[in-house]
């Protein structure tokens, strides 16, 4: 009888040992997976987060938060106000409103806003968020998301936009961008019945400048003309280089007398310019054509044509003058 009890106890002990070994292996496997998951979270350059909508508390934020936001994750988990405080003031209303929209839409994948890091840096984020499936089963309403730093992408977009709309030499609007903006101002002025002026400016004897002093000096002349435009025109006025030595301006909401004063001020600034090349000093002048929006004008092209005709009239009349039509 004793032998039988002993024989049954041995397999039982073996089974227990095997179970313990399996349990230890499972714990080790889970621990290994947890370590792998933790290392992945540390290496991901995006903030993974989870937000409890009812309690208005952040319940999880991944390690990248401190790298991207430059702020303490512990403070954020203790107080959701830390998130609001990090948003760029002009973007806070949008960031909060778009977060609320996830409740009715289920997901928001096009949120972009700026944050201010603790060190004062302003960074752009793309912050996608989704309602957790827990909410569908009557449990807590959890919003989860992933926030990526897209500052470099935004800077590249801005630079591409600048290159597409800016004259490289003078840093003023190029022809295409100028006329796109001018068309919008024309339509707005027609719709609201407000005044608008259109000006064309051409550098007098520019070919002679290039032939006498070289194209590099001619480039300097064009750059200085553009500087005069930026310094003289009002905030909201348009100014651009639309041809070789030809510039144009639009004065939205500007009455005829004021437009004339701006053109005259620009003329004086150009006349004051002085250039030096090979111990020789020279100046330049410009001919301008100025016109104002009339009730009969049906297109921007009509204003452009009148200003162009006026500018060539100024050339024929001796240059260095403004002709108003």
d(CA 141, CA 137): 10
Using the Cα atoms of residue 148, residue 152, residue 153 and residue 155 in order, give the sign of their dihedral.
positive
Sign of CA dihedral 235, 196, 247, 286: negative
Strand partners, 147: 47, 127
Q: Is 137 helix (H, G, I), strand (E, B) or coil?
A: helix
What is the residue-wise DSSP string for 1-49? -HHHHHHHHHHHHHHHHHHHHHHHHHHHHHHHHHHHHHHHHHH-SEEEE
Geometric angle at alpha carbon 207, from 204 and 208, rounded to 5°: 85
Closest CA to 270 of 202, 217, 325, 209: 202
Catalytic residue among 109, 157, 217, 245: 245
Is residue 169 a contact partner of residue 223, using CB atoms and an 8 Å limit?
yes
User: What distance in Å separates the CA atoms of residue 292 and residue 287, rounded to the nearest whole number?
Assistant: 17
Count of C-beta atoms within a 10 Å radius of residue 145: 20
DSSP state of 79: -
**217 counts as catalytic:** no
Could you tell me which residues are beta bridge partners of residue 146? 48, 128
For the annotated catalytic residues, the residue numbers are 245
């Amino acid at each position: 009888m004793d032998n039988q009890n002993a024989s049954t106890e041995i397999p039982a002990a073996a089974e227990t040992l095997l179970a313990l070994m399996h349990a230890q292996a499972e714990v080790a496997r889970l621990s290994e997976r947890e370590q792998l998951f933790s290392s992945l979270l540390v290496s991901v350059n995006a903030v993974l987060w989870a937000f409890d909508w009812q309690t208005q508390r952040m319940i999880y934020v991944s390690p990248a938060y401190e790298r991207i936001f430059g702020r303490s994750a512990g403070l954020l988990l203790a107080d959701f106000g830390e998130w609001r405080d990090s948003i760029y003031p002009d973007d806070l209303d949008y960031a909060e409103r778009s977060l609320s929209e996830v409740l009715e839409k289920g997901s928001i994948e096009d949120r972009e806003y700026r944050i201010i890091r603790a060190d004062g840096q302003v960074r752009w984020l793309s912050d996608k968020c989704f309602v957790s499936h827990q909410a569908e089963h009557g449990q807590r309403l959890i919003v989860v998301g992933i926030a990526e730093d897209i500052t470099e992408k935004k800077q590249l977009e801005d630079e591409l936009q600048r290159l597409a709309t800016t004259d490289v030499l003078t840093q003023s609007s190029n022809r295409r961008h100028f006329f796109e903006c001018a068309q919008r101002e024309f339509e707005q002025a027609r719709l609201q019945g407000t005044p608008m002026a259109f000006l064309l400016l051409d550098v007098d004897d520019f070919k002679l400048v290039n032939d006498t002093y070289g194209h590099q000096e001619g480039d300097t002349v064009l750059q200085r003309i553009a500087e005069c435009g930026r310094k003289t025109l009002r905030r909201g006025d348009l100014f651009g280089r639309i041809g070789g030595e030809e510039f144009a301006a639009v004065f939205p909401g500007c009455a005829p007398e004021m437009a004339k004063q701006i053109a005259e001020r620009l003329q004086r600034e150009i006349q004051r310019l002085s250039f030096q090349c090979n111990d020789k000093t020279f100046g330049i002048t410009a001919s301008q054509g100025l016109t104002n929006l009339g009730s009969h004008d049906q297109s921007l092209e009509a204003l452009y044509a009148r200003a162009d005709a006026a500018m060539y009239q100024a050339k024929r009349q001796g240059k260095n003058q403004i002709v108003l039509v």
